Structure 1
Amino acid sequence: MSSSELDTGVPAPATIEVDEAYLAFVRERRAAILARLEAACARSGRSASEVTLDAVSKTVGPAEVLAAMRAGYTSFAENRPQELVRKLDAFAAAGIEAPRFDMIGNLQKNKINAVLGRASLVQSISSLTLAQAVSSRAERTGLTVPVLLECNVSGELSKGGFAPDEVRAAADELGALPALSIEGVMCMAPAHDADAARRTFAGARELREELRGRMGFALPTLSCGMSDDFEIAVEEGSTLVRLGRIVFSAEYDLA
């Protein structure tokens, strides 16, 4: 699928201008985030080098992404294929090497081609049928797609993903798909409930361990934790946290 087939209606800028005041804010905020990350790792006997920060850029534009890159972020995430394409086009038009972008949102089958070869990691493989569709499209183009299995560990009806029993039952079929490289598990926790978040993250870690045994894969990545709960996720073993508002918004309260 070409960029024109996912026209966002917003032309890619020929240049990307970074506001220096905003850059200073992002740098200061990053220092605060890293301090919290290091403290969470220390509490759980881990090294901060074990955890990747995905800066979730879905609510900001290319200029804010570039500011975050200059502040030290190297990995970003988008939840809509259209926005992924728009940002990559903007960097290409400006002659700037684009950073890594992951796909974290619900992936519709008719948008699979838009992320192939563009997203470094598709974190939202939420069903066997979606996994089969991604593998089939990728196989036709000679690609192997790194993916995470999105698992609804909390059981909330509002959240997508495999139920734990579903992913267990599908493990053999998932593992046999020729064009997928299954790298681990992704989950989301209930909002505004620290105890429920901890149970969810611990459950995701245990599910990943079980799937390692069933599938015979290393599954190095456990993607869980967002702006409000990433410290709990890190304490429970997360190797990749997805941070949006806390990275990009001055309105986010760190207290």
Structure 2
Amino acid sequence: MDIKQNLTHIESEIKLACQRGSRSEDDIAIIAVTKYVSVETASKALDAGIRHIGENRAEEGTAKIEKLDKPATWHFIGSLQSKKVKHMIDKFDYIHSLDRISLAKEIQKRMPEGRKMKCFVQVNVSGEESKSGLSPEDTLSFIKSLEEFPAIEVVGLMTMAPYTENPEETRPVFRNLRLLRDSIKDLNLSHAPCLHLSMGMSNDYVIAVEEGATFVRIGSSLVGKE
């Protein structure tokens, strides 16, 4: 597994996708999803030039951060139980899975005074029962309700598209999230600038970038599995 070579290929694919969508590749951040790999592999990812790391479990992710001890921006990308917030709140820079008030309350309670947690609101655009997240119809009212939690900044929306052998089939999911994000961003809510879109994984990140992704979450095709 040559992470540097994988990164070069992914960056090339993103560059082409940006050209097709008249976007700047500088607007897209690659999150290396390291939940299935060792601390050593995560370290190699940072040495290869990656600056964003994604983990999906609170205790395991926190332990990896402490062991790695290298400059990085850490993203919590999995479903987050309220009782787990205390284990990770002072280690991660972003949470990609805010989808209920009980979780917002716990983030507010645990966040160090004077700091804000950058959060993506998770939206279940596809409507799959197996996926977490708000329905698109409930997303705006939920975001408006977050105004009462000053420790939370809604930086964008996140979704997971259905896995499919033909990535083109994911395009409507990503497009609909972008349209929803645009409608919320246009409201100019002070607590929810909603500038970003966290969408696209190893099998569909090219389509996600074409449709407006600003963060793509890539695991196996970047850092592999161990």
TM-score range for the pair, normalised by the shorter chain length:
over 0.9
**Rg comparison, structure with higher value:** 1
Query: Who is 1:222 aligned against?
Result: 197
Alignment RMSD (CA, Å): 1.8
- How far apart are the structure 1 equivalents of 2:7 and 2:128? 31
Q: TM-score, normalised by structure 1?
A: 0.82
**Length, aligned pairs only:** 223
After superposition, residues 1-255 of structure 1 pair within 5 angstroms as 22=1, 25-92=2-69, 97-138=70-111, 141-192=113-164, 193-214=166-187, 216=189, 217-249=192-224
For residues 114 and 217 of structure 2, the distance between their equivalents in structure 1, rounded to whole angstroms, comes to: 29
Instruction: Specify the alignment match of 1:16 in structure 2.
Output: none
More relative contact order, 1 or 2 (CA 8 Å, 6+ apart):
2
Superposed CA offset, 1:190-243 (max 9, x none): 111434410010011011112223462431210000000000000000000000
Scaled by the length of structure 2, what TM-score is found? 0.92
Task: Classify the secondary structure of the residue corresponding to 2:119.
Answer: strand
Partners of 1:84 and 1:101 within 8 A in 2: no
**1:189, 1:196 within 8 Å by CA — same for their partners in 2?**
no
Deviation at 1:128, TM superposition (A): 2.5
Q: How has the CA–CA distance of structure 1 residues 187 and 164 changed in structure 2, closer, same or farther, with 3 Å as cutoff?
A: same
Which consecutive unaligned segments of at least 5 residues does structure 2 have? none
Structure 1 unmatched ranges of 5 or more: 1-21
Report deviation, 1:142: 4.1
Choose 162-171 or 184-193, whichever is displaced more.
Answer: 162-171
Query: Counterparts of 1:65 and 1:116 in 2: how far apart (Å)?
Result: 20
CA distance in 1, matches of 2:93, 2:41: 20
